[in-house]
Structure 1
Amino acid sequence: MYKNILVPVAPDHGAVIGNSMKAARALLAPGGTITVLTVIEAIPSYISQYLPQDQQDRNVAETEAQLAAEFAGQDGVGVLVKVGHAAQTILDVAEEAGHDCVVIASHRPGLQDYFLGSTAARVVRHAQCGVHVLR
């Protein structure tokens, strides 16, 4: 059983979020916490020059509000939205906050994943805590 579980999710993958949360709850020790993390890629500078200056902040606030509404009233569940590279940000948050487990969904690997590596594969290879991968 784990006391502090990190569940990285993409907000556009609704069915996967449910499966990830179900697995996290099954692995959670009594009195433990689950942190739902969404990582938003930074807006490239060649695009951001055509957008309002606070667009990135608005994207973060909107995503955070959506997640908070989805998990409102669920004891021991917090939400966090960060900007950065998905795999590295997941690893950084897991280490900084002292998570003892990461529950992450993965798609079936294709040829491109063998060359580039999926987010889940990078988290598995570099995490300093337990990682449960769901397919």
Structure 2
Amino acid sequence: MYKKIMIPVDLAHTDRLEKALTTAADLSKQYGIPVCYTAVTASTPTSVAHTPEEFAQKLEAFAQSENQKLGLHSAESHTIVDPDPVADLGKKLIKAAHEQGCDLVVMASHVPGIQEHIFESNAGKMALHADVSVFVVR
């Protein structure tokens, strides 16, 4: 089936990821495959962390907490540092999927609104441009 699942995470909004996290955990347990929690952060201070190193520590703590809470096959974290995470998010996540050996991306989306008629959502970009399977959870 799949070899590894990537779950893009926004540490500033983990409360909005519950369905995607649970879906990925169910797939991980069902097929006995590892999960990689992946996040993109700026090289400058953010509302989540002052430095990229602090951000990476928080992402790793989140990954291990989810691993214990959900009983995953195994979990790891991968932090991507980018000067403009908003502009580069889709490209960076696709590249990370390849680098981490992930062949399935399970990611949260949001209820589409007027903006999506003009701009693609992050999940939409991933589903449209990635050459790996993308499971978008609303």
Cα distance in 2 between the residues matched to 1:94 and 1:2: 13
Q: Where do residues 31-50 of structure 1 align in structure 2 (5 Å cutoff)?
A: 32-41=33-42
2:110 paired with 1:107: yes
For residue 65 of structure 1, the aligned residue among 47, 53, 57 is 57
Q: 5+ residue gaps in structure 2? A: 68-72, 83-87
Structure 1, unpaired ranges of 5+: 44-54
* TM-score between the two structures when normalised by the length of structure 2: 0.78
Larger radius of gyration between Structure 1 and Structure 2: 1
**How far has the Cα of 1:65 moved from its partner?**
1.2
TM-score (norm 1): 0.79
Report the identity percentage. 27
Bigger Cα displacement from structure 2, 58-67 vs 119-128: 58-67
Structure with greater proportional helix content: 2
The secondary structure found in structure 1 opposite 2:4 is strand
Matched-pair contact (CA < 8 Å) for 1:6–1:94: yes
Partner of 2:85: none
Query: Does the C-alpha gap of structure 1 residues 96 and 133 become closer, same or farther in structure 2, counting only changes over 3 Å?
Result: same
CA distance in 2, matches of 1:37, 1:16: 16
Give the root-mean-square deviation of aligned CA atoms: 2.2
Larger fraction in strand: 1
Matched with 1:15 is 15
1:118 & 1:64 partners in 2: Cα distance?
A: 25
Give the distance between the partners of 2:105 and 2:93, measured in 1 at CA: 9
- Give yes or no for contact 1:95–1:128 (8 Å, CA) kept in 2: no
Tell me the equivalent position of 1:92. 95
Equivalent pairs counted in the alignment come to 123
SS in 1 for 2:18: helix
1:121–1:42: structure 2 CA closer, same or farther, 3 Å change rule?
A: farther
